[in-house]
Amino acid sequence: MLRKAQQGFLLISAVIIIVVVGLLAATVSYVVITNSRSMANQLDAMRAHYIAESGLERAIYAVISSEITCSAVTGHASLTNISFGEGAFTAMATLNNPTAATLTAGVNASATVIPLSSINGYASVGRVTIDSEAINYSGTSSGVDVCGAARCLTNAKRGVASTTAASHLSGASVFQSQCSITSTGDVPATSPVIAERQASGVVVYRFGSGWIVGDTTGTETILGWNGSEWLHVGPYSGVANNQLNDVFVNSLTDSWAVGNRSDISSPGLIIHWNGINWADFSASGLPHENLNAVTCVNSSDCWTVGDAATFAHYNGTSWSHVAPDVSVPSQNINDVSCVVSNDCWAVGQKEGGAPLMVHWNGSAWIRPSASGLPNMDLKSVACVAANDCWAVGQSKTFLYYNGTSWANIIPSASVPNTTMNSIDCINANNCWVVGNPMAGDATFVQWNGSTWVRVFPDVRMANQALYDVSCLDASDCWAVGNVAGIVHWNGSVWSDAAPGIGVPRVNLYGVAYITGSVPPEKASLMTD
């Protein structure tokens, strides 16, 4: 009996040991499987993260290199559901270019909360510019407890991008122009998705290489070239809400624009770009007349012309009125072009049965003889050299100056009988003229070195009047006109160029630029 009892005990013990071992094996197996799955999930999450980062870098490069505009990122074939490694990425972007809000209170150089009149259109994370300071921030708020006012930018890092932190007065404009990009990485590339991660970045646009100005619509119209598209910038505190007629670019930090006076007692409007902001440039002593055109020989030698034979000169410090010779009638002057400091031509409204051309010889503006020329208003003038100038105007008027006298040049029969509004010359054998529409098409006329011929755009632009043209080289010209009309010449064809988001539907009167691109830059938005 004892032996049988021992055998039964041993059997029970063996069963218990087997069960315990089985449970231990199952537990170990579960832990191993769980850890393996956890490691696999972590690995998939890391893969998704790196795929998202790769998609972000791809999108940022596309925007910075002007391969794709910010507005075109979302849904672009090269950035949507793109296979990468064991997954895929999709990039999306938002253009943050809000109408500039203003400071509702002054801020000192160490303030980390920036109170704004509005946060509509500002990115949740990004960079703004106030006066000459660039500021990064990592949040926005509408809470009085956070802002001390109704709206603000939070956790601001001051004086970034090689600028200096400074105090700013209440009412100062707060500018933003950036492309906020988000890239989503998925693993695997097809559904169901196991892991998904996002990466975000910002591209900040810079302005200064090209400008367009025009009519007013509640605020002054100034468009800046960001390297890939024309964007509406401003409003600028202190700049009068008036029509701007012309613009000239000396450098990235030195541009001038002129326009209509704000009231009967004020002089014509002159504003200046210093690389950060456009601001009114005081020009006391000028006649109370609209200013129609501006040009510069260099940064310290500029001319602006306007109504009632108004001529004003900038010497690097201030603008001063220069009364013309008694030979010059009190007519509106529409345009001016200078070869060197002592050789400029201006043109304007006809008078005395002849067109109006006026010459600056270094000491006075004098009207030379214009006998035998058509009695037409002249709208624009461009000089390539002292003996090579063109003037254009009403009824397809083309006048040429050879260094001695002006002559009427009859264009080819293809040129429509309409007003020619602007001319710009790349060299002696390549000039462009734009004008009022004719027969349902915009008017483009090119000088090929021997004759003027009409060039048709790639699409019909019905009733599109064009008021100004500016060329960088033979394959890069811009023209602007009525109802936010912007067109580009690429060396082969004139094509409509849709303006960027927020550009008002107003007439555009002036365009000028010095380089094809001021590339945007990737912004580091660390706020610690």
Q: What is the pLDDT of residues 315-343, one digit of tens each?
A: 999 999 999 999 999 999 999 999 999 99
The candidate with the shortest Cα–Cα distance to 136, out of 501, 522, 517, is 522
At position 139, the amino acid (one-letter code) is G
- Beta strands 195-204; 101-102: pairing state: unpaired
Residues 518 and 226: beta-carbon distance below 8 Å: yes
Cβ neighbour number for residue 163 with a 10 Å cutoff: 16
Give the pLDDT confidence score for residue 528 in this predicted structure.
43
d(CA 212, CA 478): 10
Phi-psi region of 45 (alpha: psi -120 to 50; beta: other; left: phi over 0): alpha
d(CA 185, CA 202): 18
Give the pLDDT confidence score for residue 37 in this predicted structure.
57
DSSP summary character for residue 127: E
- Beta-strand ranges (E) seen in 299-353 are 301-306, 310-314, 319-321, 333-340, 343-351
C-alpha Rg value of the chain to the nearest Å: 33
Residues 432 and 471: beta-carbon distance below 8 Å: yes
Give the pLDDT confidence score for residue 401 in this predicted structure.
97
Tell me if residue 481 falls in helix, strand or coil.
strand
d(CA 55, CA 64): 14
Residues 115 and 147: beta-carbon distance below 8 Å: yes
Distant-in-sequence, close-in-space partners of 84: CB < 8 Å, separation ≥ 6: 51, 54, 55, 185
Give the pLDDT confidence score for residue 40 in this predicted structure.
63
Which residues in the chain come in under a pLDDT of 50? Answer: 2, 31-32, 527-528
User: Residue 329: is the preceding peptide bond cis (ω within 30°)?
Assistant: no
d(CA 65, CA 67): 5
Cβ neighbour number for residue 436 with a 10 Å cutoff: 19
Give the pLDDT confidence score for residue 527 in this predicted structure.
44
Give the pLDDT confidence score for residue 23 in this predicted structure.
60
The candidate with the shortest Cα–Cα distance to 225, out of 252, 202, 203, 254, is 252
Order of strands, edge to edge, in the sheet holding 521-523? 82-84, 87-96, 178-187, 195-204, 521-523
Residue 9's Cβ-side half-sphere holds a number of Cα atoms within 13 Å equal to 6
Give the pLDDT confidence score for residue 261 in this predicted structure.
85
Residues 423 and 392: beta-carbon distance below 8 Å: yes
